[in-house]
Amino acid sequence: SQTIHQWPATLVQPVGSPLSLECTVEGTSNPNLYWYRQAAGRGLQLLFYSVGIGQISSEVPQNLSASRPQDRQFILSSKKLLLSDSGFYLCAWSGRAGETQYFGPGTRLLVL
């Protein structure tokens, strides 16, 4: 069966510091991968998605970037964190048809 991992689970970072969040998927090949952010009191917002290695689509302009160095690895990064980057970050995967997305456990980021 497929599993999706995210780490770290929780992260506290100072403003201006870099960020790297990792997501990996097991048990499937050529998945579509997604990064979402959930801010307090708001729904999930799609940040990036990827349909293959090196292929990244950005949904909203922001202080973050994403990369997909391997088929089942998806990384969310920032060079300098802002206070507004605090939130709960969720990675998801779907099959190539992209119909149903399955979510990881999430990373809670607090920028101070």
Partner 1 sequence: AQSVSQHNHHVILSEAASLELGCNYSYGGTVNLFWYVQYPGQHLQLLLKYFSGDPLVKGIKGFEAEFIKSKFSFNLRKPSVQWSDTAEYFCAVILNPTGGGNKLTFGTGTQLKVEL
Of 78 and 101, the one with the shorter C-beta distance to partner 1 is 101
CB of 51 to partner 1, least distance (A): 5
Q: Which of residues 33-92 bind partner 1 (CB under 8 A)?
A: 34, 36, 41-46, 49-51, 57, 59, 90, 92
Pair 67, 91: CB distance under 8 Å: no
DSSP assignment letter at 85: G
How many helices and strands, by DSSP H and E, does the chain display? 0, 11
DSSP assignment letter at 63: S
DSSP assignment letter at 54: T
Position 16 contacts partner 1 (CB under 8 A): no
Distance CA 100, CA 75 (A): 21
Of 24 and 81, the one with the shorter C-beta distance to partner 1 is 24
Position 106 contacts partner 1 (CB under 8 A): yes
Instruction: Give the footprint of partner 1 on this chain (CB under 8 A).
Output: 32, 34, 36, 41-46, 49-51, 57, 59, 90, 92, 94, 96-106
